[in-house]
Structure 1
Amino acid sequence: MVRKWAACLAAVLLFVTVGPSARAAAVSARAYALVEQTTGRVIAGADMGERLPMASTTKIMTGLLACESGELDKTFTVPPEALTVEGSSMGLQPDESITLRALVYGLLLESGNDAANSIAMLLGGSVEGFAAQMNAKARALHLNDTHFANPSGLGADGHYTTALDLARLGAYAMKNPDFAQIVGTRRATVSYNGIANARTLINHNRLLGSYDGEIGIKTGFTKKSGRCLVSCARRGGVTLVLATLNDPDDWRDHAALLDQGFSELQARPLLAAPVERRVRVTDGARDTVAVRCDPAVSAALRAEETGQVAMQVRLPGKVEAPVRAGQKIGELRFTLDGAEIAHGDLLAVAAVAKAPPRPNPFVSFFRGVGAFFARLFGQKNQKSVASRA
């Protein structure tokens, strides 16, 4: 009897346990991960670490590298060999002149495989060379379960990611202003074979304009991968990124999971009052300077997490004059379970000028001695002149 009750209790506990690894019954995705954008911390997910194909969500990395290249407004010539690729296209013509920015619009709105190959060849020398750059960036971002074989997402051996890696890649990419602007655009016009604004591009992300707060980012589909989607939405100071892999009902799942995230998280203030400290100033007109962090520091938290946030004060032992008013001297670091969730700058309240140079005591001494003897010999010379007179 006791064993029977214990078994029933265990079943109940298993049923009600929720957390990042728990699968919501209503979600049809093979794997998903919902993360908070600023920190990348997991809000919800299931099978987040399973390596799966990701179709055209691959183009998030391709577009990110293009946006980070510093050449968005440079004009390139489309390599004809880049256009011999199957699948979706932005309609590039061989040898047409076009800016890299326009290629990225075609890549991320129309999901053009021709744009993906063109970007790869122009920035990486070849598809393989650019894939190497993509993998280097993945390693730099600690996306350890992600590997790219091409810039478009067409099926290939060794081309995979996980829901968690993909969500965190999306969160990182959305911090790039050019990338965020492009994926948040519903319709754009770019040049067509030398004719300005003759090519119209339509964003495939249906959540733009239909889900409250949606600001990006990328769709994907192949027969092998199924429907893949990464979306980003912002409400009330909270930004969430959701990645689903092999999800036949991705539009509905994204709306439901994002709603769940926004119901749990709010932008909550971390300081009830300004934090002030004093720092020693060397070579200054004053010995110390006051520094302050205003209380407008917040983080996306659940209600029960507010009391679990720890604060660390990071200040140097001293600062050298001159100090400008508003100069950053240190910072406050806020952590939850050891992971940083926010920080606030400690700024100088007032300026401290550099102190005037102090006279060297040895120089002053010898100057005094010199002045004494100068006066002494001057007096003697006056007496000699007077006696001769």
Structure 2
Amino acid sequence: MSVSASAARHGRGASAPRRAALALLALGLAVLTAPPSVASAATAAQQGAQGAALVTPPISARSAVLIEASTGMRLAALHPDAELPMASTTKLMTALVVLERAPLGQIVSVPPYSPGPAESVMGLFTGERITIRDLMVGMLLPSANDAAHALGAVVGGSVSRFVGWMNERGRELGLDHTHYDSPVGLDDPGTFTTADDLVHLARVLRSLAFFRQTVSRHAVTIGIGAGRKTVVNHNDLVGRIPWVNGVKTGHTNGAGYVLVGSGSAQGVTLISAVIGDPDPSSRDADTLTLLRYGFRLVRVATPVRAGELLATRPVNGHSGQRVDLVAARDLSGVVRRGAAIDRVVVAPTQLKGPLPAGSQVGEVIVRSGGRELGRDPLRVRTAVPAPSSVLSGVVLPAVIAILLLGGGTLVGVRRRHDPRPNGRGEDHLPAEHRRERPA
């Protein structure tokens, strides 16, 4: 006899706790004996159904966070708010400030810079002419400190002023555990961040096309003075793993190996951060572990389709007539596997015409996992007619009120002057408002 069949047989007539225990046993054995891909999907669905508790897979980093990019939903975390040195991921904020304050096509002269013996540089010489665009590429891909220093100096007018802008922008973004002492990212006491702050900064940057496209490239050829130079991305997952598309590496003795990563698959984009890995291979392995884990947890759902019937409403002044309310467009979003999706229709209880077909009369709100997935307009599928007559909609209720207030005196007068059962008043009403007298 199979385990599931035995559980079903012994569960019949058993106590509720025993039935629950047997059901959990059967589920656990089913997951363990399923093929790896099936077991992963079943585990993810179970976590989604149980309130999406965070479970972080084993990694070597001191701190890590994984989020879904479109929503900011956190999927995994290890010491997410530990304030740690960030190394060259400092350059993420340098990039954001430059992109918000300077044109990429501007040509600038390289200011003086004296790098230390172990610093990553692209070999710029003082006075060379180069575009801000090419400085950005040199800073983001090979993590060139001379490029980052040049950007800070020329865009800010001085490095200290530029660093002030970096910290100001961090406060505006709510990066409460981040501070910068330079645009470069050396081991300065005043330069620190958290894994949580890093992924949220990367999420902002990924909304900018130039940044998103640049960090997804393995190598780029740029112009320096009259020459050309090809620079290679230090993030070696880009180009090696087809679905990895960013973001930025970092390394110092104080920070260890750092990587803010991103990947996209099946309509989902995830952003990860690992800080304090012992070596590059551990940094890469931790990043891939987090990203692959996240893809098993979430999926793209389309809970509302364009033209889908979501409700009907009665029409004012037309007894028995109802009009369909349909979704204006598809509504899609990323949800946890196994999580419930709720749709709430917000629309008038009764429609009043005239309204042409396609008029918006409300919206549907979609929620999942305690957050709003989106809103979609509701439109009438067919035209809503006006009330059948002014008399039925306005005058008739007023006449009835007068009759009730007048009481028997008015009725008596009507009867003396018009002996017919209903008087003249009813003859003047539209046919659909006349009452049929029983035979």
* TM-score of the two chains, using structure 1 as the length reference: 0.72
Q: What's the offset of the Cα at 1:346?
A: 2.9
Q: Report matched runs for 1:238-249 at 5 Å.
A: 238-248=268-278, 249=282
Q: Give the secondary-structure state (helix, strand or coil) at the position aligned to 1:48.
A: coil
Q: Report matched runs for 1:1-389 at 5 Å.
A: 22-25=55-58, 27-80=59-112, 83-86=113-116, 87-195=119-227, 198-248=228-278, 249-271=282-304, 274=308, 292-294=327-329, 296-305=330-339, 307=340, 309-311=341-343, 333-340=365-372, 342-346=373-377
Distance 2:54 2:114 in 1: 42
Cα separation, partners in 2 of 1:291 and 1:243, compared to 1, 3 Å: same
Q: Give the secondary-structure state (helix, strand or coil) at the position aligned to 1:221.
A: strand
The residue type equivalent to 1:149 in the other structure is D
Cα separation, partners in 2 of 1:94 and 1:314, compared to 1, 3 Å: farther
The residue type equivalent to 2:328 in the other structure is C
Deviates more, 1:126-135 or 1:326-335: 326-335
Distance 2:344 2:256 in 1: 45
Are the counterparts in 1 of residues 122 and 147 from structure 2 also a CA contact under 8 Å? yes
Q: Give the secondary-structure state (helix, strand or coil) at the position aligned to 2:163.
A: helix
Q: What's the offset of the Cα at 1:326?
A: 9.8
Are the counterparts in 2 of residues 211 and 255 from structure 1 also a CA contact under 8 Å? no
Max radius of gyration: which structure? Answer: 2
Partner of 2:427: none
Cα separation, partners in 2 of 1:70 and 1:346, compared to 1, 3 Å: farther
Are the counterparts in 2 of residues 191 and 199 from structure 1 also a CA contact under 8 Å? yes
Cα separation, partners in 2 of 1:292 and 1:300, compared to 1, 3 Å: closer
Q: What's the offset of the Cα at 1:327?
A: 11
Q: What's the offset of the Cα at 1:123?
A: 1.6
- Which runs of no fewer than 5 residues in structure 1 stay unpaired? 1-15, 279-289, 317-322, 353-389
Are the counterparts in 2 of residues 64 and 173 from structure 1 also a CA contact under 8 Å? yes
Q: What's the offset of the Cα at 1:66?
A: 1.9
Distance 2:300 2:310 in 1: 23
Cα root mean square deviation, aligned: 3.4
Cα separation, partners in 2 of 1:21 and 1:346, compared to 1, 3 Å: closer
Q: What's the offset of the Cα at 1:28?
A: 0.2
Give me the identity figure in percent: 35
Q: Deviations over 1:123-155 (max 9, x none)?
A: 222222111111122122211111111111111
Q: Give the secondary-structure state (helix, strand or coil) at the position aligned to 2:174.
A: coil
- Count of residues in correspondence between the two structures: 314
Distance 1:260 1:104 in 2: 32
Are the counterparts in 2 of residues 37 and 172 from structure 1 also a CA contact under 8 Å? no
Are the counterparts in 1 of residues 362 and 379 from structure 2 also a CA contact under 8 Å? no
Are the counterparts in 2 of residues 270 and 298 from structure 1 also a CA contact under 8 Å? yes
Distance 1:330 1:258 in 2: 39
The residue type equivalent to 1:176 in the other structure is L
Cα separation, partners in 2 of 1:23 and 1:260, compared to 1, 3 Å: closer
Distance 1:338 1:61 in 2: 31
Distance 1:172 1:103 in 2: 20
Partner of 2:31: none
Q: What's the offset of the Cα at 1:70?
A: 4.8
The residue type equivalent to 2:295 in the other structure is F
Cα separation, partners in 2 of 1:315 and 1:245, compared to 1, 3 Å: farther
Are the counterparts in 1 of residues 202 and 247 from structure 2 also a CA contact under 8 Å? yes
Q: Give the secondary-structure state (helix, strand or coil) at the position aligned to 1:61.
A: helix
Distance 2:102 2:327 in 1: 36
Q: Give the secondary-structure state (helix, strand or coil) at the position aligned to 1:168.
A: helix
Deviates more, 1:238-247 or 1:64-73: 64-73
Cα separation, partners in 2 of 1:327 and 1:69, compared to 1, 3 Å: farther
Q: What's the offset of the Cα at 1:21?
A: 5.6
